[in-house]
């Protein structure tokens, strides 16, 4: 059986102590096993990063950027292999995996601009013969902890920018689908990155806690569920670390009576069921304003969902694949059962999809549930599966109040032709990422990604301009070179310029 190990100081490592099965969710079979790093192995990775830092921080930004240019080329040249690895362990259909990779590559492209992004600000003669400027200096050893649902894109949110800023990185990817993450890290080594600058350790809570408590780690970036995000944020802060922890979501789409209903349905299909709903930006709740809009939406969704195809990643004609594990499959089905028991109407039932030849895979079909209300468990919690729930309200304000009252504030959108309504919505809704007729308002690489409320712990968002701030410290330098022979008197007053 293939064993997925670690990458430490440029070398593949198998510490040979504990292992965990890695499943192919399309078939339900064990495909590989992954080494689970003990504390000593994680400490070895941290030590490698610490040893590499002095030379790397003094490497000119343009040389760091050139590594990223070569890395981008290697990602593109190996795209088919990367997507195959994603499909084998996550179950994501090939076209969806390619989209994930492309969004990740865009973050590498942004990181290639490091010489420009790291320029400080300079002011001459802020006082007599006094100049002042700022610099962005790296933190040192930084860590990333990434989720199963985007084994390539989310790591590419983190380590390219951290590394071009002059830091050294330790990445702990999801142990459920580790191969694609490890492969792209190996491509970064091939691109010319010095040993020790990038390290990957596969593991569980022991590995995470080691990163959170080790004083050599200066900052931690995390993407995952809200309970874990909160734990990581509090623990990292208690240990004096900078931390950004992105948590869960319950993303609503308001469907106004004047919406282009056919367009809304097409957009909701992809946003709700793409990647089996295993996205923190998945639209899981459609809030229909008025029964007429709700009836039209449900009828058109029901008809459109007849054409949804769930199946294995190898067939690009499929729309989405399985969920990640048997346990998660049962959890998603449990939420559907719960909604039905609470009085909601299951309009399209995906609890027992038939996938010929893949009967043991972890599949849940596209599911549409009507007449959901905010008191139901299935509404309150993040399902993280291919389930779209419809809530009926009487007004746009009622819809916004519903969104604002939810504990999560990651993403939302409105479907409307009314510019005034759209402007009011974008100005006032209490959510971090907002779309107008755009159901997945994921910012491009040169903006930053992050939600509000319990969807984000920390002040800075992921990637884009905020990443430069997160992975560096600003240092202000004020310098004076008095003229020869000029001696100034003593002053005990606060220096000012009048």
> How far, in Å, CA of 179 to CA of 470, rounded?
27
Q: Where are the beta strands (DSSP E) in 25-167?
A: 29-36, 122-127, 130-138, 141-145
Non-local (6+) Cβ contacts of 24 within 8 A are 30, 31, 88, 89, 91
Q: Are 275 and 149 in contact (CB under 8 A)?
A: yes
Strand 452-453 and strand 408-409: the pairing is antiparallel
280 among known catalytic residues: yes
> How far, in Å, CA of 352 to CA of 331, rounded?
14
CA dihedral 460, 423, 398, 250 (to 10 degrees): -30
* Helix (H) or strand (E) segment spanning residue 207: helix 205-213
3-state secondary structure of 433: strand
Residue 222: name the closest of 408, 457, 407 by CA. Answer: 457
| Residue from 112, 243, 280, 413 carrying the catalytic annotation | 280
436 burial (CB, 10 Å; 0-12 / 13-18 / 19+) is: middle
> How far, in Å, CA of 103 to CA of 55, rounded?
30
> How far, in Å, CA of 451 to CA of 430, rounded?
9
> How far, in Å, CA of 355 to CA of 314, rounded?
13
Strands of the sheet with 168-172, listed across from one edge? 11-13, 6-8, 198-200, 168-172, 141-145, 217-223, 242-246, 456-457
Copy the structure tokens of residue 294: 């709700």
Residues known to be catalytic: 280
């Amino acid at each position: 059986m293939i064993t997925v190990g670690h990458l430490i100081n440029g070398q593949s490592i198998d510490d040979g102590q504990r292992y965990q099965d890695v499943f192919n969710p399309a078939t339900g079979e064990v495909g590989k096993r992954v080494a689970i790093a003990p504390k000593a192995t994680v400490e070895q990775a941290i030590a490698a990063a610490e040893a590499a830092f002095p030379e790397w921080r003094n490497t000119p930004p343009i040389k760091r950027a050139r590594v990223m240019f070569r890395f981008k080329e290697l990602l593109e040249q190996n795209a088919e292999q990367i997507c195959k690895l994603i499909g084998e362990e996550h179950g994501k259909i090939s076209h969806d995996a390619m989209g994930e990779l492309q969004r990740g590559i865009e973050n590498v492209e942004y990181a290639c601009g490091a010489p420009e992004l790291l320029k400080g600000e300079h002011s001459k003669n802020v006082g007599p013969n006094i100049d002042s400027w700022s610099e962005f200096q790296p933190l040192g050893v930084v860590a990333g902890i990434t989720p199963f649902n985007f084994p390539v894109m989310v790591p590419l949110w983190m380590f390219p920018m951290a590394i071009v800023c002059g830091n050294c990185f330790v990445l702990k990817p999801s142990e459920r689908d580790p191969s694609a993450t490890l492969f792209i890290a190996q491509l970064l080594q091939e691109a010319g990155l010095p040993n020790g600058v990038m390290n990957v350790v596969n593991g569980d809570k022991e590995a995470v806690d080691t990163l959170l408590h080790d004083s050599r780690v200066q900052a931690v970036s995390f993407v995952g569920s809200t309970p874990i995000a909160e734990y990581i944020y509090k623990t990292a802060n208690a240990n004096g670390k900078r931390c950004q922890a992105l948590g869960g979501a319950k993303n609503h789409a308001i469907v106004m009576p004047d919406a282009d209903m056919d367009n809304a349905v097409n957009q909701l299909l992809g946003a709700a069921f793409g990647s089996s709903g295993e996205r923190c930006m998945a639209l899981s709740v459609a809030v229909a304003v008025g029964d007429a809009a709700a009836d039209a939406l449900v009828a058109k969704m029901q008809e459109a969902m007849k054409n949804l195809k769930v199946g294995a990643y190898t067939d690009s004609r499929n729309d989405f694949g399985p969920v990640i594990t048997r346990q998660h499959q049962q959890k998603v089905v449990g939420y559907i059962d719960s909604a039905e028991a609470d009085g909601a109407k299951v309009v399209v039932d995906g609890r027992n999809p038939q996938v010929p030849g893949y009967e043991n895979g972890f599949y849940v079909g596209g599911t549409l549930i009507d007449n959901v209300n905010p008191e139901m468990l299935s509404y309150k919690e993040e399902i993280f599966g291919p389930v779209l729930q419809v809530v009926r309200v009487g007004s746009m304000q009622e819809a916004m109040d519903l969104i604002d009252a939810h504990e999560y504030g990651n993403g939302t959108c409105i479907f409307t032709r009314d510019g005034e309504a759209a402007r009011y919505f974008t100005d006032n809704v209490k959510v971090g990422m907002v779309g107008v007729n755009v159901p997945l308002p994921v910012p491009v690489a040169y903006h930053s990604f992050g939600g509000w409320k319990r969807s984000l712990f920390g002040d800075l968002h992921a990637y884009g301009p905020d990443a430069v701030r997160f992975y560096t410290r600003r240092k202000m330098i004020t310098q004076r070179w008095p003229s020869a022979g000029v001696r100034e008197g003593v002053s005990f007053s606060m220096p000012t310029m009048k």
